[in-house]
Structure 1
Amino acid sequence: MSVDLEQSTIMGRFAESVLSPERLAAVRRSGMLGAEAGRRFAQLTNLASTLTGAPIALISMVESDRQFFTSQVGLPDDLAASMQTPISQSVCRTVVETGAPLELRDLGDDERFVEHGARTELGIEAYCGVPIRDGDGHVLGSFCVLDVEQRTWAPETVELLEQLAGVVADSISTSIDYLSLVTDLQTRLIPADLEPPAVGSLRARYRPVAASERIGGDFYDSFRRRDGSVDIVLGDVVGHGVESTQAAAQLRAAARAVFTGLERS
C-alpha cells in the first residue's frame, strides 16, 4: 500500500508539471501551435524517420487536453490533417511529466501503456522520445519516433533525437526573440490614450494575435481639431511580420504629419 501511495504521489506531481500555468503559457508563447511553424521543421522530422528507420516521427507540443503535431511524417491522413490527438493518446505527455527521454520497445510490456490510448486506439507499439525545452527550461513537448510494430531502438537513437530537439529549441528561442521585436514595434503603433472629443468619449481596445508569427501592421490614431471634433485613422498593412509593422509605423507617422499640417493651415 505504501508503494502505491508513493507512486500516486509521484504521478500527481508529474501531472502538476504538465498542467503548470507557466509551462502552458510557454507552450503558447513558443509559436509552435500553428501550421506555419511546421514548415520550418519538416526536414527535421523526415531526417529523424530516415536515420532511425521509424515510419513515424513527430514534434509534439503537449497542452492540458491535447498534443499538437507541429511537424510530422508518417501519420495516417486523418491524423496528419487534424494535427492533434486528445491527451489520452499522448505518450509524449510522459516525456513532459518526467522531463527525461523515454524509450519503449514494446508498449504492451509496460504496465503504464498496456491500455494506453496510443496503443489501443492508434496502434502504436514502440516509442522513443526526448524533451523539447525552451530557454527557460520548460518542457514544451517531445521530439519522438514511433512504430506500429515492436522494435528495439538503436543505441544512438536517443542521442540523435536530443540533437534534433536542440535544433528545435534554438529555433524556438529565435522565434520568441523575433516575436518580442515585432510585438514591441506594433505596441508602439497603438496610442496609450486617444484624443477626447468635445462631446462624449472615445475609447479603443486592441487585441493582437498572441505568440504568432502573423503579427502584422494594424494601427490607429486620433487627432483633435480646434473646434473639438476628432479625426480618426485606422490602418492595416497587408502582410505580416517586421516589414508590415515597419510600414505601418511609416504610415502612422505620415498620417500625423498630414493632420497636423491640416490643423495648422
Structure 2
Amino acid sequence: MAMIKCPECGQEISDKAKKCIHCGKVFIEEKVAKEELKCIECGATLNDSDEVCHNCGCPVEESPIKPQEVQVSSIKVGNKTKKIIVGVIIALVICVAGGIGYKVYSDKKAEENYQNAYNTYIDNLEKAQVLMISGGSDAESLCNLTLKVWGNAIYEDRDDETDKYTRPKGYFVDDFNEALANLFADSDTQSTISDIEENQTAVKEIMKKLQDVPEGLDKCYDTVSDINEAYGRLTDLAISPSGNYSGFSTNKSNAISDFMSAYEKLDTQIPNRK
C-alpha cells in the first residue's frame, strides 16, 4: 500500500482509501444495494441463481417489465399561430353575429315593407271609393236627365228643365230620339260626359294598383271589384244610352243598387291603418 496526497486537501492518505480521512473527499462511489428478489407466491427472499423458490417451490419469474410511461408533450403554439386562431374565432363570431343581425334586420325590414304596402293599399281603396262615388253620382244624374227627356218626349210633358231638348222650337219634336240627340249635343251634357270619362280613366288606374293585394285584404279587393263592375255599367249607360225606355230605366236602377250595396259593404271591410 502506498501513500498519496489527497487532491482536495493535500494531506497524505492511503491509495486504497475510498475517501479522505482528513477532508471527507469521496474517491469511489459505493454501489447501490441491489433490490432483493422475492418469491411472488410466499414472499421468501431469493438468490439471483434460484429458478424455483426454496420455500414453496414456485417457479421464479423474471421481474415484470414496468410499463413505459408515456409522456405527452404539450404542443407549443407560437404567437403568430395564436393570433391566427384568435382571428379565426373572432371572424366566426362576427359572421354568426352578423347573420343573426341581418336576419333581425331583414325581418324588421320585411315587416316595415308589408306595413307600408298595407297602409298604401287602404289609401287606394278609399281613393277608389271617392272616385267611383263621384263618377257614379255624375252618371246617375245624367241617366235621370236622359230618362226625363226621353219620357217627356214620348208623353209630350212640358218641363222647364227638358223643354229645350223636347221643344227646341216651341213645339214637341216628332221623335224621342231627336230629343235625346238634342240633350247629348248640349255643351253642358258634353262637359258632364267628359268628366265621367276622365273619372273612368282614373278608376281604371287605381284598380290596377289594387290588383297587388297584401295579405289579409283579399275580401276588400273582391268587394271593390264588385263596386267597379256596377260603376262601369252605370257610367256606360250614362254616356251611351241604349235599348228602350223601360229597359234603360231598369238597367240604371239595378246598376245603382248593386253599386251602393257593394260600396256600403266595403265600408265595413276596410280596416284601420297599421
TM-score, length of structure 1 as denominator length? 0.20
TM-score, length of structure 2 as denominator length? 0.20
Give the helix-richer structure, 1 or 2: 2
Query: Radius of gyration: which is bigger?
Result: 2
